[in-house]
């Protein structure tokens, strides 16, 4: 229960950033904590015909004070809060690297596809992969939760519309 309460508190905080990379734009609005991902490479009518959206995200200069929490519950909440249908959650912890806490890798298998998170506390770095092949999942909410959880000083990402030409 402690982890779920902390997850709700983290999700309720506001993170403000604005960056534009590789044809995508991410914006967090301080008034509501929401943000928008927009593709500039294809128009809205064309985007309707994609199979899915895939985000590859890198968080730098992260905080790792939360590493004593239950990662499975945090990952489940990150997915569930976006409206995704969670099928399975798995994690694996690694050995500590010197004075740094142990890193971990986790995944959430979704009916819509998957989320994976890989951490390197010794580098204050987190690599995230979010893929959704449906419109039910709000990837923005998943990403917002992970931003609030890891509190990156910098983030980079690439978004890809998958299966654009299969129709």
Domains of the chain: 2-42+52-162 (3.60.90.10)
d(CA 19, CA 37): 11
pLDDT, tens digit, 9 for 90 and up, residues 61-99 = 998 876 567 888 999 999 999 999 999 999 998 888 777
Give residue 48's pLDDT band: very low, low, confident or very high (50, 70, 90). low
- Is 102's pLDDT higher than 80? yes
Mean per-residue pLDDT over the chain, rounded: 75
CA separation, residue 153 to residues 60, 114, 126 (Å): 6, 25, 11
H-run or E-run covering 134: none
What are φ and ψ of residue 126, in 5° steps?
A: -135, 130
Q: Which two tokens stand for residue 40?
A: 């500039």
Please give the model's pTM, rounded to 2 decimal places. 0.71
d(CA 16, CA 8): 18
Buried b (16+ CB within 10 A) or exposed e, 15-26: eeeeeeeeebeb
- Is 3's pLDDT higher than 60? no
């Amino acid at each position: 229960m402690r982890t779920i309460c902390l997850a709700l508190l983290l999700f309720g905080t506001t993170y403000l950033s604005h960056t534009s990379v590789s044809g995508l734009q991410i914006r967090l609005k301080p008034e509501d904590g929401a943000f928008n991902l927009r593709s500039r490479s294809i128009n809205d009518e064309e985007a309707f015909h994609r199979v899915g959206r895939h985000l590859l995200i890198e968080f730098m200069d992260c905080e790792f004070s939360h590493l004593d929490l239950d990662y499975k519950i945090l990952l489940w909440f990150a997915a569930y809060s976006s409206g995704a249908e969670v099928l399975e959650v798995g994690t694996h912890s690694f050995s500590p690297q010197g004075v740094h806490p142990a890193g971990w890798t986790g995944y959430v298998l979704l009916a819509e596809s998957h989320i994976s998170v890989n951490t390197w506390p010794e580098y204050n770095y987190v690599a995230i992969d979010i893929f959704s092949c449906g419109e039910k999942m709000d990837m923005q909410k998943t990403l917002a939760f992970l931003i609030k959880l890891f509190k990156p000083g910098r983030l980079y990402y690439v978004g890809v519309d998958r299966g654009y030409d299969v129709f």
